Amino acid sequence: MALASCDGQEVCAICGDENASRHYGVTACFGCKGFFRRSVKAGLKYICQFDGQCTFDKGKRNTCRFCRFERCLKTGMSTEAIRPDRDSTGKQLRPRKCAILEQRKYTAQSSSTSAKRNRFAQKTLLLQLMNLEYSINMGKVQKTTVNACDQVVSANQFTLSEVLDNPESVDSERTQIRYDAIRTASADDITASIRRSLISTIDWVNGIGAHFGVVSTAEKLALLNSRAVLLALFSVAARTSQSTTNPDAFCLPLGCSVKRYASKNVMVQTLVSRILDDLIAPLNRLSLDEREIVAFKAIIALNPDAVGLSPTTARSVAAYRDRVLHALFQNISDQFLTNGAASRFANILTLLPALTDISSLITNYSIIESLFGSGVDSLLVELLGQNRKKHDDATKMRQYSMRRSVVDKVTQTDNLLAAKEEYFAQADSRVQTKVCDNYCKFATPSPDPLSYYPSSCGIVSPYMEQTSKPSYYCQQLPILDYVDLHLQ
């Protein structure tokens, strides 16, 4: 039975000290409990100088160890209650915690070092792109004045593949790029500026391809064909945003500008307005810095889905584009809070749909013809070759559908003039048209006049010398032609 003090607290059965609790089978204080444990663990043997007759209480418990140990045994302390591994376990606990803390500290240091290394690599990547942009804009031949006519010859002597293989072949084309609004662009200025933009775009693809090991000319050409127009268009828009606050003009790379309503051609006016309103205006609101501009240009140029890339190159392009995306976001995060950085990053990327939409207008060959007529630069013709084919195929399909509709209408009516007017009503109202009516007689009946000339723009002639419902059809009557489209 445990002893208790006057205030109800249990006392040590060995020495009578208060604040005791159960240890090794008896009620004992922490002092006696520790003494008994140490004695048993160490196997110590004690000797009493007074033959075991020592007076033992709280104040004299440290006087004789023999009598104290014997008192512990007599009160019922069990040597078997002492865990033999308790001390070793206790000794290992703190070293384990220290090891865990050290590991965590090392991991944190490694993560911090890795983060610093990644950030340095991202900044280095943006600096490389800025250096590439600077070298392209400066050009190898720097002139204070530009004669547009001097630039017409050399580029027409080479193909895109030859320029990619041998960049020095068009060194004379690499005049210094200056986006400003010194003067209003003439037709020759526009021709020279587009050519200069094309050369700089080729240099961009060549330069950025060198960063991730694209050495094949065919693969560089694939990247160029897929994104050249978008790349040149964004360059013009971004530099215009930096160069002028005029909402009704955009700058070209040879120190001239195009006004919103400089042309009376509806198609050209539409294109210019789209560039100003859908692209340059958002860029004015964003106010991109130089790092953001070059990073976004790299994102545009790096198209892993470009037709003609090998699987290995496509993976390299995708990986490099991811690096640029991370570098762009990190650059934004260094300047804005978390929410602001995410919002700005998203707003920059939302420029891509407008770029794609406007570039589809530019690659429409009708607009190229309206700008240049028959004097289109050979490199531009080659670059837009696939788009020209798509445009021609779409035009033929549209014309065939329109002819089929009109012929079906004509076979059911005597009013041929009304059928012709219906044909014109279906034509693109944005395009200037020139009617070419052929006054021809014919004597070959055909159940399906389109089966003879499916690629022509034939229509039943309103000048047939017949008064009844027609049963004969003309064999060659081109009715709609896109002509005389140019800057006026």
Q: What is the DSSP string of 209-260?
A: HHHTT---HHHHHHHHHHHHHHHHHHHHHHHHHHH---TTEEEETEEEEEET
Please give the full DSSP string across 298-321, using - where no structure is assigned: HHHH--TT-TT--HHHHHHHHHHH
Highest mean pLDDT among 21-35, 111-125, 310-324, 404-418: 310-324
pLDDT at 30: 84
Q: Which CATH architecture has domain 125-382?
A: Orthogonal Bundle (1.10)
Which residues on adjacent β-strands are paired with residue 482? 433
Residue range(s) in the chain whose domain bears CATH number 3.30.50.10: 21-81
Position 438 confidence tier, pLDDT thresholds 50, 70, 90:
very low
pLDDT, average across residues 165-187: 83
Position 370 confidence tier, pLDDT thresholds 50, 70, 90:
low
pLDDT in tens, 189-198: 888 888 898 8
Which CATH number applies to 21-81? Answer: 3.30.50.10
pLDDT at 88: 47
Position 119 confidence tier, pLDDT thresholds 50, 70, 90:
confident
The crossing angle, in degrees rounded to 10, of helices 187-211 and 86-138 is 150
Residue range(s) in the chain whose domain bears CATH number 1.10.565.10: 125-382
* H helices, E strands: number in the chain: 16, 5
Better-predicted residue by pLDDT, 17 or 298? 298
Position 166 confidence tier, pLDDT thresholds 50, 70, 90:
confident
pLDDT, averaged across the chain? 72
Q: What percentage of the chain has pLDDT greater than the value 70?
A: 63
pLDDT at 114: 74
pLDDT at 418: 59
Better-predicted residue by pLDDT, 439 or 139? 139
Cα distances (Å, whole numbers) of residue 233 to 229, 250, 265: 6, 11, 20
Answer yes or no: is pLDDT of 467 > 50.
no
pLDDT at 233: 93
